[in-house]
Chain A
């Protein structure tokens, strides 16, 4: 397991987001340090996905900024993106490609290989299906492919939007274990989820968008 810099921090100041003419949230500020997790909650439509998109830098906020280790993300995007792993709502896998071919992109995204393809497939429980075209997999299996990056990643900050969607109970446990290991070795986590998630002994902060 790779070690992360123990002094990473993610800060936001006064984030604001609008969708059309509607103000989704205003003045979101938090600070997250190594080994901590931020759990974002709120009703459907309260802006959880938008907040995560702002944190990743995909969407610029109307006001406020996101800082990684003191430097605004907008100022040094590359440094931030090297440390960032984002798994969004959508599976982000190509339906026309096989599991193996999709995993190859994950190797490219993460920039290095430790596991062999077969071992990685083993970890996500799809070893027998490496050559299968993804359109023939179930939604849960497709999500497993997109979550494979969690097992490859050497990035310090993980931003996950509803990572447990469509997963069965066994695999949820596998993911939880992986998240706990990530936090234990100094990683950071921001995630949204509708179901309860066991993150072990890590420090978890809560952010509820309904109250903002």
Chain B
């Protein structure tokens, strides 16, 4: 536990020191969402129907864009080596890093999502659903993304490849989240979707860090 908190706090501190970079995915999110009315149509009804999916996919892309910095800087300056050689659970250590990454990248996306919902006329009753699904799903994104980043860490063209590798795994999360939001928009029950997403989150938290540690070892081969 102490190890977790120490690494978590350290990574948050690093994120704070790099806060200018953290704004990038948020700006990306806002800009791309704005592209849709510009590129398709500003029609209220049409956008309202698209809004859940568009916001969700764009949040996904924004998160993917900044996935790389989870391990990149530590890999480049040799800190990751040192962390992997620390006695103690590597899985806990990696979980701490992923958690810190989510707090610094995923959570801000969740916070500005309501703003996006105004731009695309998401029905008001769907807004809580948007926030809840993003809140449950963005940690899943961080976890799955970590696998992709860890596998491609030692490769030169790593960033894009890692996104390609993890995107197919996001399909279930995307589907269940957008189905939940669209159900909420027409006042249908959503708790089933939340339960599924929460289950996916719990399984990911328990299993994915092991895969990430294995993948990091491969990168040091």
* A and B, direct touch (CB closer than 8 Å): yes
Fill in one digit per residue for A87-101: 1 if any B CB lies within 8 Å of its CB, else 0.
Answer: 011111111110001
Interface size class of B (residues with CB under 8 A): 20 to 34
- Complex Cα gap A81–B87 (Å): 5
Contact A94 B81 (CB under 8 A): no
Contact A97 B87 (CB under 8 A): no
Contact A96 B17 (CB under 8 A): yes
Q: Which of A57, A94, A108 contacts B6 (CB 8 A)?
A: A108
Contact B82 A109 (CB under 8 A): yes
CB neighbours (8 Å) of B13 from chain A are 97, 101
Known contacts being A58-B220, A91-B78, is A97 close to B17, with CB within 8 Å? yes
Q: Nearest Cβ in chain A — how far from B163, in angstroms? A: 25
Q: Which of B10, B18, B82, B87 contacts A92 (CB 8 A)?
A: B82
- Complex Cα gap A88–B78 (Å): 7
CB neighbours (8 Å) of B6 from chain A are 108
- Complex Cα gap A203–B84 (Å): 31
Chain A binding surface, main DSSP class: loop
Query: Who on chain A is nearest to B9 by CB?
Result: A104
Contact A92 B79 (CB under 8 A): yes
CB neighbours (8 Å) of B78 from chain A are 88-92
- Complex Cα gap A52–B66 (Å): 33
Known contacts being A60-B221, A92-B79, is A97 close to B14, with CB within 8 Å? yes
- Complex Cα gap A78–B84 (Å): 11
Q: Which of A58, A82, A95, A105 contacts B81 (CB 8 A)?
A: A58
Fill in one digit per residue for A41-64: 1 if any B CB lies within 8 Å of its CB, else 0.
Answer: 000000000000100111110000
CB neighbours (8 Å) of A59 from chain B are 220-221
- Complex Cα gap A96–B12 (Å): 12
Contact of A84 with B by CB under 8 A? yes
Known contacts being A82-B87, A109-B86, is A53 close to B220, with CB within 8 Å? yes
Contact B10 A95 (CB under 8 A): no
Contact A96 B85 (CB under 8 A): no
Contact B87 A86 (CB under 8 A): no
- Complex Cα gap A95–B74 (Å): 10
CB neighbours (8 Å) of A96 from chain B are 14, 17-18
- Complex Cα gap A91–B76 (Å): 10
Contact of B43 with A by CB under 8 A? no
Q: Nearest Cβ in chain A — how far from B75, in angstroms? A: 10
Q: Which of A56, A90, A101 contacts B85 (CB 8 A)?
A: A56
Q: Nearest Cβ in chain A — how far from B172, in angstroms? A: 34
Known contacts being A58-B85, A81-B87, is A93 close to B79, with CB within 8 Å? yes
Contact A91 B77 (CB under 8 A): yes
Fill in one digit per residue for A105-128: 1 if any B CB lies within 8 Å of its CB, else 0.
Answer: 100110100000000000000000
Q: Which chain B residues (80-131) contact chain A, with CB distance < 8 Å?
A: 81-82, 84-88
Known contacts being A59-B220, A88-B78, is A94 close to B14, with CB within 8 Å? yes
CB neighbours (8 Å) of A60 from chain B are 221
Query: Who on chain A is nearest to B90 by CB?
Result: A77
Q: Which chain B residues (170-221) contact chain A, with CB distance < 8 Å?
A: 220-221
- Complex Cα gap A96–B13 (Å): 9
Contact B14 A81 (CB under 8 A): no
Known contacts being A81-B86, A108-B6, is A92 close to B81, with CB within 8 Å? yes
CB neighbours (8 Å) of B73 from chain A are 94
| B-to-A contact residues, CB < 8 Å | 3, 6, 10, 13-14, 17-18, 73, 76-79, 81-82, 84-88, 220-221
| A-to-B contact residues, CB < 8 Å | 53, 56-60, 78, 81-82, 84, 86, 88-97, 101, 105, 108-109, 111
Beyond contacts A78-B88, A108-B3, A111-B87: 13 other A-B pairs, Cβ-Cβ < 8 A, are A53-B220, A58-B81, A58-B84, A58-B85, A86-B82, A88-B81, A88-B82, A90-B76, A90-B78, A91-B77, A94-B14, A97-B13, A105-B10
* A-B pairs with lowest CB-CB distance, top 6: A90-B78, A92-B78, A96-B17, A81-B87, A82-B87, A58-B220
